[in-house]
Structure 1
Amino acid sequence: MYLEHVNLVVNNIEDMIKFYQAVFPHWSIRSEGRGTWHGKPRRWVHFGDDTQYIAMSDHGEGENRDLAGHQLGLAHFAYVTQNLDAVVKRLQQVGFKIDKQGGDNPFRKNVYFIDPAGFEVEFVEYLSDIPSERNNDL
């Protein structure tokens, strides 16, 4: 079993694609369309590859949850990469900045970015194949 997609309600799909295209240069729009969601018009896009994607709908209103707060909701989601430095460089080249660095750990390195819709996204590169090391709390 694997995670196929997440479905995010956003206010600007093009800004989101700019962010995620930098992360996943091989991804593209798999499908898209228009419709309504409970009476409100929306555009939707599935952006990804043949295995996984991010579904985005542009009918979002207001702001995402306060990431420093205690509201219910999504805290962050994470992607594993084999080359964290390359992901960071691509994101910085298109104007995104690291929101926070991960902790100092001999078995992984990670960073957090905030995407254009306000979702926190972690990128992690594991430096060990041993689960107990990868998941330690150093």
Structure 2
Amino acid sequence: MNFHRFEHINQSCKNLDVTRQFYQTLFPQWYVRAEGEEDGWKWMHFGERQFYLSLNQYLDSSTVSPSMGHVDHIGFVIENSEAMKALLDENGIDYSIYISPETKCRIYVDDPDGTQVELVEYNESYELK
């Protein structure tokens, strides 16, 4: 098998800076790995050493994203759902909660571009956490 690791998600943004700030709020340790501007769009790789979001914004607002697919949601494993809920409350970010047998908590929020983000804390007994 040639798979090494999951590296990034590419996402078109209405406002790259607003989207970056949203994810910076959720994950304060993330940083801008690289960024630039070319051919009518700005881009940024925002994340950490092993994973990042590739955020893209077309400078001409009339330009439609060439993406043909739709991401239903992006899932992130978190360590402490109570601390995450407190952070979301503190920043006025709406969320919903879902509980399933293998998780302590699943928190769902929408980013500024309408992509749903799932923040999941697994039960300690769950083998694949």
Instruction: State whether TM-score is above 0.5.
Output: yes
Conservation of the 8 A alpha-carbon contact between 2:36 and 2:42: yes
Give the aligned partner of residue 9 of structure 1: 12
Q: Size of the alignment, in residue pairs?
A: 120
Unaligned runs of 5+ in 2: none
State how 1:33-52 maps to structure 2 within 5 Å.
Answer: 33-36=36-39, 41-52=40-51
Runs of 4+ with >4 A deviation: none
Work out the CA distance in 2 between the residues paired with 1:52 and 1:122. 16
Give the aligned partner of residue 72 of structure 2: 75
SS in 2 for 1:85: helix
The percent identity for this pair of structures is 28
- 1:29 partner amino acid: V
Shift of 1:3: 1.3
Per the normalisation by structure 2, the TM-score is 0.80
> Is the counterpart of residue 110 in structure 1 residue 109 in structure 2?
no
Give the aligned partner of residue 90 of structure 2: 93
Shift of 1:106: 6.6
Per the normalisation by structure 1, the TM-score is 0.75
- 2:91 partner amino acid: V
Aligned Cα root-mean-square deviation (Å)? 2.3
Shift of 1:104: 5.1
Unaligned runs of 5+ in 1: 63-71
SS in 2 for 1:73: coil
42-51 vs 52-61, which deviates more?
Answer: 52-61
Work out the CA distance in 1 between the residues paired with 2:11 and 2:22. 14
Specify whether residues 46 and 109 from structure 1 end up closer, same or farther in structure 2 by C-alpha distance, changes over 3 A only.
same
Superposed CA deviations along residues 102-135 of structure 1, whole A, max 9, x for unmatched, are 1354743111000001000000001133338x7x
